Structure 1
Amino acid sequence: MLNIVLHEPEIPANTGNIGRTCVAAGARLHLIEPLGFRLDEKSLKRAGMDYWKDLDVTTYIDYRDFLEKNPGAKIYMATTKAPRVYTDVRYEPDCYIMFGKESAGIPEEILVEHQDTCVRIPMMGQIRSLNLGNSVAIVLYEALRQNGFAELNREGHLHRLSWEK
């Protein structure tokens, strides 16, 4: 099972949206405090819709607490400061993909410790970053693709509408 880690997320709607994406993708969500909201906030639940109850989510007091409770975790750091693109690495089925808070990203001191696993999403010119929810979806679904979309529904079925007869 893949793991999405949000380091000090600030916007409840983004985290709710990411939670919904994690449920759809069969991924766990890890939230490193401090959070810019309370987990019972209405906007968080609204963005996560009725999926929030199905979410496998764990919170941590701080980054050190996260590391202590996930020893030996392979962690990829999504950052605009990375020298390589997110499609250039091979994501293990149980890896962790970390994203930083909306206003500042992952702290530099953490990135320096994980330089070899930093990845970026290519963007035009001087664009600072994408929306956090979009960034998570892009990288998470690449990791899922690389792992054969294990256990995910890979096909849908169209039903002929009654008025088309």
Structure 2
Amino acid sequence: MMNIVLLEPEMPANTGNIGRTCAATGTRLHLIEPLGFKLNEKALRRAGLDYWEKLDVTVYSDYQDFLDKNPKALNKLYFATTKAHRVYSDVAYEPDCYLMFGKESGGIPEELLIENEDRCIRIPMWGEIRSLNLSNSVSIVLYEALRQQGFEKMELEGELHRLQWKSRES
């Protein structure tokens, strides 16, 4: 199972959207405090729709608490940052790795990035754009990691309902 780690997320709508993505992919969500919102906040629930109840989510008091409770994460943790030298798609992700994203206003603290520079990844961007939206960034990197795992246990095909479509055309 993949893991998304949000370090001090600030915007409930982003976290709600990420929670919905995690629920849709069978991914665990780890939230490291302080949070810029309350977990029962309306904007969080609205963005996550009715999927929030299906989510495997854990909240930690700080980064050390996260590491203490997830000792395997230390060697399987990737840090998404605009400061990385390596593109996210150039990494071979483990099936149970942890993808960390920092808060919207400042990203992951520089000291963590320096300590883990070999596991820092970036999404390429054009021009002077500072960064992508947090929930979009999570989706991009998570789906690449899931693609590498063959989208294990995920629905790979949909079904068209041709009879309903034909009745609308009449």
Q: Same fold (TM over 0.5)?
A: yes
- Give the letter aligned to residue 54 of structure 2: D
Equivalence for 2:155:
153
Identify the residue that residue 104 of structure 1 maps to in structure 2. 106
* CA deviation string 1:53-99 (max 9, x = no partner): 00000000000101111113110000000001000000100000000
Q: Distance in 1 between matches of 2:66 and 2:20?
A: 22
Q: Does 1:29 align with 2:29?
A: yes
Please report how far the alpha carbon of residue 163 of structure 1 lies from its aligned counterpart in structure 2 after TM superposition: 3.0
Distance (Å, rounded) in 1 between the aligned partners of 2:95 and 2:72: 14
Counterpart for residue 163 of structure 1 = 168
Opposite residue 33 of structure 2, the aligned amino acid is: E
Q: Would you identify which runs of 4 or more consecutive aligned residues in structure 1 move more than 6 Å?
A: none
d(CA) in 2 for partners of 1:54, 1:97: 20
Deviation at 1:164, TM superposition (A): 4.0
Q: Distance in 2 between matches of 1:45 and 1:144?
A: 25
- For 1:82, the equivalent position in structure 2 comes to 84
Q: Counterparts of 1:40 and 1:129 in 2: how far apart (Å)? A: 28
TM-score, normalised to structure 1, is 0.98
* Residues 23-48 of structure 1, C-alpha deviations (whole Å, 9 max, x = no match): 01110000000000000000000000
Q: Give per-residue Cα distances to partners, 1:109-161, cap 9 Å, x unaligned.
A: 11112111100000001110000000000000000000000000000011112
Q: Secondary structure at the match of 1:123?
A: coil
Determine whether 1:66 maps to 2:66: yes
CA distance in 2 between counterparts of 1:4 and 1:117 reads 15
Q: Is 1:42–2:42 an aligned residue pair? A: yes
Separation in structure 1 between the aligned mates of residue 25 and residue 119 of structure 2, nearest angstrom: 22
Name whichever structure is richer in helix by fraction: 2
Q: Secondary structure at the match of 1:149?
A: coil
TM-score normalized by the length of structure 2: 0.95
- Structure 1: how far apart are the matches of 2:12 and 2:102? 14
Q: CA RMSD in A?
A: 0.8
Match of 1:94 in 2: 96
Output the CA distance in 1 between the equivalents of 2:106 and 2:169: 52
- Alpha-carbon separation, structure 2, partners of 1:87 and 1:153: 22
Q: Which runs of 5+ in 1 are unaligned?
A: none
